[in-house]
């Protein structure tokens, strides 16, 4: 069971899967979907974990130190949730594009680390490498846009470049954009993501 909201868009458009950062909820990224593709369907999910009252998608032991067992469990839960919602709302399970920020970007990345055919693409704002021990499935038709901050104290530069490396190795077509800021999600990176989305899908 996950809290979520679903908005039906045009049938031929992708379904945008919105995954918030720590402390957000299913409403946090709705404005992004509206910018990226106002005609797309939107499936926005609230993370099932609470950390001091703040929703997250998986537990962590400390900042940047993930509970790997919970990450695996929650990623499976999200994967099954996507299968279930595609059947319930009759959308194309193979046409989901995730938009995630921070903790939400990390679980989106982990869907790609764990499952073939989970996402068609992803826009990852300030992600980290979710699991450095993973061996990734083949992801050769998947497209990913990463936006990272050069001064991001939570997701340092090597997290973005290492994530790019893991994804490219598994066949993903990766575009990495740098912002001259920290961990915040900037309008400039959202506009770059929109341009990438329009060129790619
Ligand atoms: C995480 O825990 O997923 C990362 O540290 C980012 C965040 O704080 O949400």
pTM equals 0.98
Active site amino acids: 102, 152, 183
CATH number at residue 29: 3.40.50.1820
CA of 64 to the centre of ligand 1 (A): 6
Name the residue with the closest Cα to ligand 1, atom 3.
Answer: 103
The per-residue pLDDT string of the chain (201 residues; one tens digit each, 9 = 90 and over) reads 899 999 999 999 999 999 999 999 999 999 999 999 999 999 999 999 999 999 999 999 999 899 999 999 999 999 999 999 999 999 999 999 999 999 999 999 999 999 998 999 999 999 999 999 999 999 999 999 999 999 999 999 999 999 999 999 999 999 999 999 999 999 999 999 999 999 999
Domain that holds residue 130: 4-200
On the 0-12 / 13-18 / 19+ scale of CB atoms within 10 A, 9 is middle
Ligand 1 centroid from CA 188, angstroms: 21
CA distance 22 to 66: 13
Ligand 1 pocket mutation pick from 154, 156, 163, 182 by most atoms within 8 angstroms of CB: 154
């Amino acid at each position: 069971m996950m809290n979520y909201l679903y908005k039906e868009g045009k049938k031929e458009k992708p379904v945008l899967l919105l995954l918030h950062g720590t402390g957000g909820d299913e409403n946090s990224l709705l404005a992004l979907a509206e910018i990226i593709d106002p005609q797309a369907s939107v499936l926005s999910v609230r993370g099932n974990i609470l950390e001091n009252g703040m929703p997250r998608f998986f537990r962590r032991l400390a900042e940047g130190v993930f509970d790997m067992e919970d990450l695996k469990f929650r990623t499976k839960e999200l994967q099954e949730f996507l299968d279930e919602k595609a059947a319930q709302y009759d959308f194309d399970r193979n046409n989901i594009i995730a938009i995630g920020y921070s903790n939400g970007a990390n679980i989106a990345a982990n869907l790609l680390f764990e499952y073939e055919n989970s996402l068609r693409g992803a826009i990852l704002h300030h992600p980290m490498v979710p699991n450095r021990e993973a061996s990734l499935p083949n992801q050769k038709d998947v497209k990913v846009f990463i936006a990272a901050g050069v001064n991001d104290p939570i997701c340092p530069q090597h997290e973005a470049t290492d994530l790019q490396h893991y994804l490219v190795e598994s066949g993903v077509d990766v575009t990495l954009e740098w912002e001259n800021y920290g961990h915040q999600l900037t309008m400039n990176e959202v506009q770059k993501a929109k341009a990438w989305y329009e060129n790619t899908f």
